[in-house]
Amino acid sequence: GQSLEQPSEVTAVEGAIVQINCTYQTSGFYGLSWYQQHDGGAPTFLSYNALDGLEETGRFSSFLSRSDSYGYLLLQELQMKDSASYFCAVREAGKIIFGKGTRLHILP
């Protein structure tokens, strides 16, 4: 089976940088994904890492280290609209397994 660990909550200040970590245990690994979910909304895809290293998409970056079974999501120039839950996820055969989510609180 697979399991993912991520912090339940993180707090940061508007304009700052925040990193959300995710460690995983898998029986087979295809890649690590990140999703954002605002309150009352549906999850939206942010990024996917299949290989080691950093992937950058605008203010968001995602990193993967397969040897450490570890990845993180980096959010820069935080805006109030970034207040949401962030989920890491891995694929196992025909399903995606999600972490329990990290609630990001942003202070003005």
Partner 1 sequence: GEEVAQTPKHLVRGEGQKAKLYCAPIKGHSYVFWYQQVLKNEFKFLISFQNENVFDETGMPKERFSAKCLPNSPCSLEIQATKLEDSAVYFCASSPRSGTDTQYFGPGTRLTVL
Question: In this chain, which of 11, 14, 16, 45 binds partner 1, going by CB under 8 A?
Answer: 45
Residue 68 is a binding residue for partner 1 (CB under 8 A): no
Considering only 12-20, 31-39, 54-62, 65-73, which stretch makes contact with partner 1 by CB under 8 A? Answer: 31-39
21 Cα distance to chain centroid: 7
Residue 99 is a binding residue for partner 1 (CB under 8 A): yes
Strand pairing report for 44-49 and 84-92: unpaired
Considering only 18-26, 52-60, 61-69, 84-92, which stretch makes contact with partner 1 by CB under 8 A? Answer: 84-92
Residue 48 is a binding residue for partner 1 (CB under 8 A): yes
CB of 37 closer than 8 Å to CB of 88 = no
Question: In this chain, which of 11, 19, 25, 44 binds partner 1, going by CB under 8 A?
Answer: 44
CB of 97 closer than 8 Å to CB of 90 = yes
Structure tokens given for 79: 């805006």
Angle, alpha carbons 91-96-97 (nearest 5°): 95
* Residue whose C-alpha is closest to residue 20's, from 86, 83, 80, 76: 86
Residues that bind partner 1 (CB under 8 A): 30-31, 33, 35, 37, 39, 41-45, 48, 85, 87, 89-91, 93-101
